Amino acid sequence: MAQPLHPSLTFDVVYPEVVRSRDDVGGSAGSEFSTLVADALRRGITAKFFATLDADAQLRADLCTVCVEAKRNHLRVEHLIIAFKDAWRALPEARMLPQGSQGPELLSHIITLCIGEFYAPRGD
């Protein structure tokens, strides 16, 4: 039987309410921020598997919008990663992807792009 960790060695990840969808707290609709994240993921999946024209530019524009909103809400990049992973698990489109590594690789790619976008210098 595993020994529980000493209380001083454990921690709870606390992230702002804006990151959580209302489903997480008992409501029926997602927060505006979680909706932005889910929409970006949905378009990223569509672009990847249906080879839509100018898909990369659209994904980057979506990620830019997500990052601007994240900064406006004083979120850290860690919060974005949590938001993207939570949204991914909830997306029916993600669950319909072919078995194997394509789904996780796509999510990882989108998160990597988002981190780059989050730290990109802006003129605003």
Q: Looking at beta carbons, which pairs linking 29-34 to residues 24 or more positions away fall under 8 Å?
A: 32/69, 33/66, 33/69, 33/70, 33/73, 33/83, 34/83, 34/86, 34/87
pLDDT of residue 65: 95
**pLDDT > 90 in the chain, percent:** 44
What is the SS3 assignment for the chain?
A: CCCCCCHHHCCCCCCCHHHCCHHHHCCCCCCHHHHHHHHHHHHHHHHHHHCCCCHHHHHHHHHHHHHHHHHHCCCCHHHHHHHHHHHHHHCHHHHCCCCCCHHHHHHHHHHHHHHHHHHCCCCC
pLDDT at 21 over 60: no
**Mean pLDDT over all residues of the chain?**
78
| Res 26: pLDDT | 40
What's the pTM value of the predicted model, to 2 decimals?
Answer: 0.72
